[in-house]
Amino acid sequence: MPSEQAPARRPRRYRRRLRSRIVLSFFLLGVSLTLLLAFATNWARNRVEDALVVDVLNRNIDEYARRYYADPDRRPDLPVQQMRAYVFAPDSERLRTDFPEWVELPDGVYGLDGVNPDGTPFSYKLAVRKTPEAWFFVAYDMTQTLRGEQRFRRALYGAVVVFSALSLLVGWWAASRVMRPVSELAALLKESGRSPQPEGLAGHFAEDEVGQLAAALDDYAGRLTEVVKRDREFNADVSHELRTPLAVIRGATELLLARQDLDERTRARLRRIQRAEQQCTDLISALLLLSRNERGHGICDVGKVAEQLLETHRAQLGGKPLELRLEGEGGLIVDAPEAAVSVALGNLIGNAVKYTARGEVVVRLRPDAVEVADTGPGLSAEDAARLFERGYRGSHAGHTHGGGIGLSIVRRLCELYGWQVRVLPGEPGGVVATLVFSPPGGVGGQASTGSSQP
């Protein structure tokens, strides 16, 4: 059976820091507003300038026509230097030769541009007034105006760059001001985490959003401290209150077993009580290590523990046709309390014995690991996927006793000590559970859990 797959991690999405997002927001806002203002200014300037030019042309051509009819023999002058006035008869050949594009234009003001024969561009506004006796044209040179418009646009581009840089500076300053209380809160929170008793954070900040966050963190830290305190008190109470009666049971069974007048049946029952007391003591020690999340140390002979566990299960087989064997050479020493190794290995052996109706359970000692092979019914795909879930009992559990927490405890012990537990299908059947220990002299790393028989 393939080993249990760890749940896939969600891909990490890159997120900018809050400070960077504030600076970027100010920058984008400044650029957008500056571009919008530049566009609106340029559009308004063009509209106003165009309206002014059209108004000047209309007034000047009307005045030019009035003066012309007042004295046809004298060509009147125009007050604006950029303007040139023309008057032609409707059938003028010069008009059709020199200015053919003017001929078909009705009354009004028009913008004309193009390129001169020498390659220089030109642009002008033309006012047209046509009467039966004469056609009047007034041209306003827009070349100077276009140059001014180009300079104005360059000034607008410069303003966009300047105000964008200014918005960037303002954003950086505002982000620093906004994020300073948050950074101070994070620093205080980090410092308070190093002390046994959390210090109040809300008193360091004003009654604003950051102050509300600090007050909420203070409340959360207080509740969390209370939970940790209750947990520590519970662990201490369990360690004392449970170990005391177990010690009494151990002393009583040892005294009873020392008597010579006991029959064999009573002696067997006392030995069973003694083994149960030892299992309870080991389990309590292992659970206390897990609850405190601390690695206990010790010199544990794994072969000796395996032999004791097999002997315990042999005494409980009754008439079950099952052979329990220990193979391999001893000498595997683990830096861990004997209770932790006994609980981890005992659950694997216990599961193999529980779910194997007949055949054999073989415990093999390797240089850095222990294998538990059985001839049981094997492992289904569903069991393999949910094997180490707390409270899960496999499809072969039937009417057997147990709450489905044994392998969960094994997994947690492996994570604590850096061991690995994996399960593969046996040949030709059954299950092979392997408990791999860290190299002698140290523990470390994360446990890699595989599938195992529930």
pLDDT at 98: 86
Instruction: Dump pLDDT digits (tens) for 351-382.
Output: 888 888 888 899 999 888 999 988 888 776 66
Phi, psi for 392 (deg, rounded to 5): -85, 135
Same domain, 308 and 419: yes
Same domain, 228 and 338: no
The answer to whether residue 173 is domain-embedded is no
Cα–Cα distances in Å, from 32 out to 25, 46, 98, 202, 243? 10, 21, 49, 38, 73
The answer to whether residue 354 is domain-embedded is yes
Confidence at 230, pLDDT banded by 50, 70, 90: confident
Domain ranges, residue 416? 297-454
The answer to whether residue 158 is domain-embedded is no
CATH number at residue 106: 3.30.450
By percentage, how much of the chain surpasses pLDDT 90? 7
8 A C-beta contact, residue 142 and residue 83: no
Q: Model pTM? A: 0.51
pLDDT at 385: 58
Extract the runs of DSSP E, i.e. beta strands, from 50-93: 83-88
What total number of domains does the chain contain? 3
Instruction: Dump pLDDT digits (tens) for 295-341.
Output: 888 898 998 999 988 888 888 887 788 889 898 887 889 988 888 88
pLDDT at 39: 92
pLDDT at 198: 64
pLDDT at 249: 84
Phi, psi for 129 (deg, rounded to 5): -135, 120
Same domain, 367 and 312: yes
Same domain, 47 and 127: yes
Phi, psi for 434 (deg, rounded to 5): -120, 130
Q: What are the tokens at 113?
A: 């541009």
Scan for tokens 């506004």, then name that residue: 125
Same domain, 307 and 453: yes
The answer to whether residue 164 is domain-embedded is no
Same domain, 443 and 311: yes
The answer to whether residue 352 is domain-embedded is yes
Q: What are the tokens at 126?
A: 């033309």
Same domain, 139 and 227: no
Same domain, 100 and 58: yes
The answer to whether residue 1 is domain-embedded is no
Same domain, 103 and 204: no
Same domain, 48 and 117: yes
The answer to whether residue 366 is domain-embedded is yes
- Of 294, 328, 356, the position where a domain reaches its end is 294
Same domain, 323 and 395: yes
d(CA 322, CA 310): 12
8 A C-beta contact, residue 395 and residue 382: yes
Same domain, 278 and 385: no
